[in-house]
């Protein structure tokens, strides 16, 4: 392992090779018996993943017209699979993974173009009347879903026609027919902003969707990179190698050459079909069925026996938005705070149990000036990396581990005085089906800012925190085995000062 926590070699080039690595590490379970994509596949994933377990490869989805497979729980609640996917040491703690991820997120490696003949994604191509999306497995996840969803674990590429930069995002895609698939981009996303730019020019928006990419490409697409940055370069940075791309045949967009399945198409300003709802990452159906844009599919390309990535949207730990998302979101929160010029940012954690990491963020700081904690709270609450959905932002001192919920609760219940230390921001960005809001108030949420730091002007004053004496700690550690205690002694780095 290298000093920065990365492993030296990356012995895979794409999703199927990465799955082999997972299999060797006991991180992949294969189902060869027939499984119904109508709720059964989702139910298996939901129930099995309650134990935060493996990725699931369904080799025999029921009733498909073309040999194809479905992968669910690709990353899910597994910090180990996240670490494997970005070449980090899987034994690192969550806090160490966040620190290592901050280094990876700063790296940019532009994609490398390969010839179409060297792109396995072109093993099978269909255009015109030969396009039939109904031949492939598209799960219906929840009983109340508005339809079948084509993967949802996709990467969608849309170019900004002004700057020429290619954006990548992940957006749910409901299947409407053999050549039509829905696309649901939340207002404010870069994807929909680019789309509007094409429409304002009077042109349809070209789109390329890849299903079954290298997991790093998927992860990069789910992060809020700046509008001036391409997630393709970010994915290259995460894996430390260029993403191999080739050219689309109908649209001027990059095709991940080793993706399992891609579609080329156009989104027309005047064409919509009724989409949704879908049981979502917060555990509720999102919104009512409503007209949304669709992709008019011009070509399908896929590898033989492709693996379509189904992202189950569910409450943690069963949802696809789990450990990797919490770690990356936390790393981005720290980076943004430092980019804004703040000092003393120790760590942060967007706890995955809080609406898949969208609901509760703890940030630990070394307080250095009056108002420091309040500044961190306000800026975290509204930064792009944290604002969507988050309801609780807690700032804690540097002796509190933000990844340890018990430690955070300790700080909240000892350091914070609710009457003085909680502020509320109103009319903020939240999810449109937030069940805590009256329908007429949606989608405007609120955020509690909780200052669980020791008051700045009380630092160093009584009451003092009870710490162990260093010599006594060392003595107990040296006697650990003799005393018959199990495991390794807990690491402690703060000790009693004075007599």
Q: Which residues bind ligand FMN (CB under 6 A)?
A: 152-153, 167, 169-172, 184-186, 189-191, 222-224, 311, 320-321
Using an 8 Å Cβ cutoff, are 342 and 375 in contact?
A: yes
The kind and range of the H/E element at 450 are strand 444-452
Minimum gap (Å) between residue 187 Cβ and ligand FMN? 8
Please state, in angstroms and rounded to a whole number, the distance separating the CA atoms of residues 213 and 151.
12
DSSP strand E in 248-355: where? 254-256, 261-275, 290-302, 307-310, 345-350
The kind and range of the H/E element at 109 are none
Report the relative pairing of strands 205-211 and 154-159 from DSSP bridges. Answer: antiparallel
Minimum gap (Å) between residue 326 Cβ and ligand FMN? 12
Please state, in angstroms and rounded to a whole number, the distance separating the CA atoms of residues 258 and 240.
17
Give 87 or 191: the residue with its C-beta nearer to ligand FMN: 191
Please state, in angstroms and rounded to a whole number, the distance separating the CA atoms of residues 91 and 105.
20
Tokens 């805590």, located at residue: 436
Give 231 or 397: the residue with its C-beta nearer to ligand FMN: 231
Torsions phi, psi for 364 (to 5 deg) = -105, 140
488 closest CA partner among 498, 476, 499, 497: 476
The kind and range of the H/E element at 125 are strand 124-127
Give 185 or 412: the residue with its C-beta nearer to ligand FMN: 185
Report the relative pairing of strands 180-182 and 290-302 from DSSP bridges. Answer: antiparallel
Using an 8 Å Cβ cutoff, are 117 and 125 in contact?
A: no
Give 309 or 364: the residue with its C-beta nearer to ligand FMN: 309
CA distance readout (Å), 258 to 123, 221, 243: 10, 16, 9
8-state DSSP, 461? P
The 3-state DSSP class for residue 390 equals coil
H helices present in 183-240, as ranges: 190-200, 215-221, 231-239
Please state, in angstroms and rounded to a whole number, the distance separating the CA atoms of residues 377 and 121.
46
Tell how far CA 374 is from the center of its chain: 27
Using an 8 Å Cβ cutoff, are 495 and 400 in contact?
A: no
Sign of the dihedral defined by the CA atoms of residues 171, 174, 179, 185, in that order? negative
């Amino acid at each position: 392992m290298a000093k920065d926590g990365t492993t030296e070699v990356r012995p895979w080039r794409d999703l199927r090779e990465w799955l082999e690595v997972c299999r060797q590490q006991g991180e992949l379970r294969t189902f060869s018996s027939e499984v119904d994509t109508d709720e059964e596949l989702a139910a298996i994933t939901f129930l099995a993943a309650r134990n935060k377990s493996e990725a699931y490869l369904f080799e025999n989805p029921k009733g498909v017209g073309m040999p194809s497979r479905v992968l669910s729980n690709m990353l899910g609640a597994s910090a180990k699979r996240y670490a494997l996917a970005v070449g980090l040491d899987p034994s690192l703690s969550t806090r160490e993974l966040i620190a290592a991820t901050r280094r990876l997120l700063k790296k940019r490696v532009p994609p490398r173009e390969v010839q179409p003949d060297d792109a396995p994604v072109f093993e099978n191509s269909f255009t015109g009347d030969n396009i039939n999306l109904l031949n492939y497995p598209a799960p219906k996840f929840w009983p109340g879903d508005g339809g079948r969803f084509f993967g949802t674990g996709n990467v969608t590429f849309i170019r900004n026609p002004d700057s020429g930069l290619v954006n990548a995002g992940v957006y749910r895609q409901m299947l409407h027919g053999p050549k039509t698939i829905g696309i649901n981009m939340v207002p404010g996303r870069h994807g929909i902003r680019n789309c509007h730019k094409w429409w304002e020019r009077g042109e349809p928006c070209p789109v390329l969707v890849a299903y079954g990419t290298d997991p790093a490409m998927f992860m990069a697409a789910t992060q809020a990179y700046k509008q001036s940055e391409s997630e393709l370069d970010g994915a290259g940075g995460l894996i430390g190698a260029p993403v191999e791309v080739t050219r689309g045949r109908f649209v001027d967009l990059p095709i991940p050459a080793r993706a399992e399945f891609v579609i080329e198409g156009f989104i027309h300003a005047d064409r919509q079909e009724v989409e949704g709802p879908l049981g979502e990452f917060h555990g509720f159906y999102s919104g009512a069925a409503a007209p949304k844009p669709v992709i008019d599919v011009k070509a399908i390309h896929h590898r033989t026996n492709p693996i379509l990535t189904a992202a189950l949207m569910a409450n943690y730990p069963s949802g696809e938005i789990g450990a990797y998302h919490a770690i990356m979101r936390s790393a981005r929160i720290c980076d943004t705070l430092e980019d804004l010029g703040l000092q003393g940012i120790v760590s942060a954690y967007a706890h995955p149990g809080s609406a898949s990491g969208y609901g509760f963020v703890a940030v630990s700081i070394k307080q250095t000036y009056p108002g420091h904690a309040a500044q961190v709270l306000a800026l975290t609450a509204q930064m792009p990396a944290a604002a969507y959905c988050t309801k609780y932002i807690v700032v804690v001192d540097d002796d509190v581990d933000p990844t340890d919920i018990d430690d955070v609760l300790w700080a909240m219940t000892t350091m914070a005085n609710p009457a003085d230390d909680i502020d509320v921001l109103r009319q903020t960005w939240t999810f449109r089906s937030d069940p805590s809001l009256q329908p007429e108030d949606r989608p405007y949420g609120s955020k509690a800012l909780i200052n669980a730091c020791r008051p700045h002007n009380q630092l160093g004053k009584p009451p003092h925190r009870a710490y162990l004496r260093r010599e006594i700690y060392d003595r107990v550690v040296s006697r650990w085995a003799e005393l018959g205690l199990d495991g390794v002694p807990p690491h402690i780095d703060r000790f009693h000062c004075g007599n």
